[in-house]
Structure formats: structure tokens, C-alpha cells
Amino acid sequence: MTNFLPTLRALVRTYQAFDNFSERHIKSLGLTTGQFDVIATLGNTQGMTCGEIGEKTLMVKGTLTGVLDRLEAKGMIVRVENPKDKRSTLIKLTDVGEKTFQNTFQPHLEYLSQVFDKLSAKELQEIESQLQKLYQLF
């Protein structure tokens, strides 16, 4: 059995460092990480079901419901009947939500680019490839 613990530790530490770095900026934009994830996911779409949002944001149902409730209370999203499937609800950004998307998504990408721009295109591709390989193994 190979000793994978150093790799596992490096992976977790890297994710935690990324999460802390990203969260600081998202909070400065007036959102939680979950709220930002939902707004970023819904941006430039005609809406999505809760299942689709959960799949794209990797949020579990209970967490997602709370985030959606808070975004709805802030007037950023609306729940409407899904015209394609009356049994499900479609989540859409309101005008306020769309404006929030426009004011936060690109600035956050630019904030993250401070770090990612320090890597070459080849390095980014290699990291992505290795992470994809690890993902597939799981």
C-alpha cells in the first residue's frame, strides 16, 4: 500500500486555502459562499431546478434550501412553476439577482486570477488533468 497521506494532506490544505481566499472576497461583496455559488450558477440562464443547481454547486438539498430561502428573502431569486415539468419548481434570478450577478461574478474571477495567473497554461492543464484523474478514481 502506497503512502497517500502526504498527497491527501496537500489536497485538503490546498482546498482550505482556496476556500479561505475566495470566501474573504465573496464576503466583501455582501454574499455568503453559498449565495455566490447559486447566483453564479443561475447567471446568464433562464433558470434551473433545485436538482440542477444542487448538481452544479455540489450543495446538499438541506443546505441549498436554506441558501435559496435567504436569496428569496433578499429579492434575488424567485421560485416559479417549471413550464416543462409542473411537478418541479424553477429558480430564476430577479432583476436584483441579475444585477448582483453582473456586479460580483467577473470581479470575483478577476480576484481569483491574482493566484491562477501565476501558473502557466501548461501548469494549469497538468493540475486539472491530475485532479480529473483522481476524481475518476473515486
pLDDT tens string 64-118 = 999 999 999 999 999 999 888 888 899 999 999 999 999 999 999 999 999 999 9
DSSP conformational letter for 80: E
CA dist 138 and 119 (Å) reads 26
In this predicted model, which residue has the larger pLDDT, 2 or 114? 114
Q: What pLDDT shows up at residue 15?
A: 95
d(CA 12, CA 52): 26
**Residues 76 and 126: beta-carbon distance below 8 Å:** no
Q: Class of the 5-110 domain?
A: mainly alpha
Q: Any idea where the domains of the chain sit in the sequence?
A: 5-110
Q: Give yes or no for residue 126 having a pLDDT over 80.
A: yes
Q: What is the rounded CA–CA span in Å between residue 89 and residue 98?
A: 19
Copy the grid coordinates of residue 122: 501548461
pTM above 0.95, yes or no: no
Query: Angle at the Cα of 65 (from 60 to 66), degrees rounded to 5?
Result: 105
- Whether 120 has a pLDDT exceeding 80, the answer reads yes
- Which three three-digit cell numbers place residue 117? 495567473
| pLDDT tens per residue, range 10-58 | 999 999 999 999 999 999 999 999 999 999 999 999 999 999 999 999 8
Q: Which three cell numbers stand for residue 9?
A: 494532506
End-to-end alpha carbon distance in the chain = 17
